[in-house]
Structure 1
Amino acid sequence: MLKEVSYYYPILFFVGAYVLTYLTIPKIIKIVEYKNLMDNPNNRSSHVHKTPTLGGASFFYALIFALFFLKGWCNHHEAIYFIPGLTILFIVGLKDDLLVLSPYTKLIAQFISVLFILSNESFTIHSLNGFFGIYEIPIYLYYIVGAFIMVTIINAYNLIDGIDGLAAIVGIVILIIYATIFYMTKEYFYVLISLTLNGCLIAFLKYNLSSNESEEKIFMGDTGSLIAGYIISILTIKFLSLSAEKYDSLPFLMENIPLIAISILIVPLFDTARVFTIRLANKRSPFSADRNHTHHILVDYFKISHQKASFIIGGFNLVFVYLFIILGSESYNFWLATILVATVIILGYFFFIFDYSFRNIKRKIRYRKKVEKAREKGKKILKKKKY
């Protein structure tokens, strides 16, 4: 039997994760600087100075601690099934941040990690509740679709970690929505997991949004983005696998659940679909690196700061979900799907018209780095004149 949640439990888990992350990130920065494990800028980087990475290491042990105390809050021992996948992605993310792994190695690790979750019966998706007339689905299809959904979300979240604050802000928005949904459906284990990771992301945001010259600046790295994406993918699968009785307490039609899930993840999913399409159209691997992401366009083309671009995208995510929940309470999935497709097409065209070619981007980056170097030389000359 599940425990009833008291008002102080959410506060305890959120504050505990926040304090743990906030106090340990400075220690991680010192170790990274001492061992010279800094992230060096290259021709597609958004930063111009060497910056510590591995900030996501703090997410890992905060979540492990939380899972230890949460093991009595679940009927199907879900907490135990989180740990192997988190550990695999932590090790792979850590190695990728230090040595750089191939995308396919990370992909294999992700598939292994999601299998632990899919093997737990509490995540089994038995029905789509009338989504486009689909009700019962066979178990083999659940494994195929479930693995595809989880791996897509993990990679999509990993790919939006390209400018300061974006992955954390989008993650905070998504986790607030999921915490609310699971509170309304009385799935308290997932409420507390959402709040734990949210505490980590909010604490991390303070360091991630520091200026490039700040000694406290740090990146989440693949270590953090893979772990956060993994948790978000688990929450999504759980949302899709809730029973019909649980859905009755939510403010939207049951058959619209898959579309609501897409709307919650609209930012990472749209950006990934758009970037993969561009790369394949240019006859390149979908995993090849470039600066064609939505956030890069806002920063490079519109000259918006990282912080402003991150808050604009995060704000869009929140507003989009709110509108979809309102529409999903009355509109059937055909009209809701039409609105979603129309929105994606309009946004895709909006970013397409800027002729955002890779060569133009490289020229802009070279010019920006020349300006930065010129400024640094100017500062050094002024300092010498003063003395």
Structure 2
Amino acid sequence: MSHSSNHVSRSPDANGYYGDFGGNHWPERMRPALEELTGAYEELRASPEFRHELDTVRVGLQGRPTPVHHLENTSNQLGGARIYVKREDLNHTGAHKINHCVGFALLAVKMGKRKLIAETGAGQHGVALASAAARFGLECEVHIGAVDADKVNANVSLMRLLGAQVVPVAAGQSTLKEASDSAMHAYAEQHAHALYGIGSAIGPHPFPMIVRDFQSVVGQEARAQFLSITGGALPDHVVACVAGGSNALGLYSGFLDDPEVALHAVEPLGRSAEPGQHAATLTFGRPGTLHGASSVVLRRDDGGPAAVMSIASGLAYPGVGPEMAMLSKSGRLSVDTVSDEEAVATFLRVARSEGIVPALESAHALAFAIRLAAGRPPTERILVNLSGRGDKDVDFVLTRYDGNESLRG
């Protein structure tokens, strides 16, 4: 909640824009709800009491701080740059998502709301929101695409165990974009008593700002930890997977003002670069509006959101958050892609080399880091956001890739 970054303190502007991207493009009838949220958040973010309560929950419920860990075996195998990971997979509920979920839950309590509504793709955000809602005595309603619900059934069961109402969405591709559509409609109908605990740094102002701020704890911790580990040296490269941008912005926030630190955004190339076979928005997208904000969007010829595909459900989204779009356009970060095949190979490699099972989403970032490290000298250091654990993906990978020789040991 406290920011040392000059970039963060300057963005967004008073109208919720990050350069050319952002704003509020929701229907006029929703403006009072967004203005109420903006006012409440601006007041509470400056409150020492609010920050203390949030920090207390982060320690007790989440288990923060999470460590920075050297992937020593992988680094030695490569013989190149050293790879370190920020272990967000060690958070309660298994991913970085709980960082902003507990923030939204506490915000809802302070605003007098009694319910949280949100979407989820891989299920990690849904489980985190359900856990936060249970901790603060709130109702919880989670929308998930029917395809994703089948794929991450264990997480769906966890949401229900934690008391959430799970709403499967059978429309369009029945994945993250459709879940977001459904959740936003539900919030529009229930905003008088409910708060939208959005799943990433997307949507109309002030949602991208709020999510980034709550996630900035990742970058603040990582910076201090890395300096301690290295005796005062910063990483040469900081890497995160990207869809909406919550885990990436969380880690980047600690290093945005350090021009000597290269920032890398890793997108899902899926099966190929052909339209509909990937979800690489910054690589192939163009300016557009999606879910209430102007940003970069994968679009069909008629202007609507394009079909997307990724083995990682949490990355299968046809847009990107407005701040991520601005950072890409400004050249502050470089954008790279990783295919499904490379992500699965990395999922297996890290599990067997390090004893860590990364989420398929995080495996994209790790795959790029491994590729980057192999071509860099051992004096360089790479920091990766290991944004989630892969328990949810194990059965899917073992079943789908059972014929792969690498699975036979």
Structure with higher Rg: it is 1
TM class, shorter-length: 0.3 to 0.5
Q: Which structure carries more strand by proportion? A: 2
TM-score, scaled to structure 1: 0.34
TM-score, scaled to structure 2: 0.32
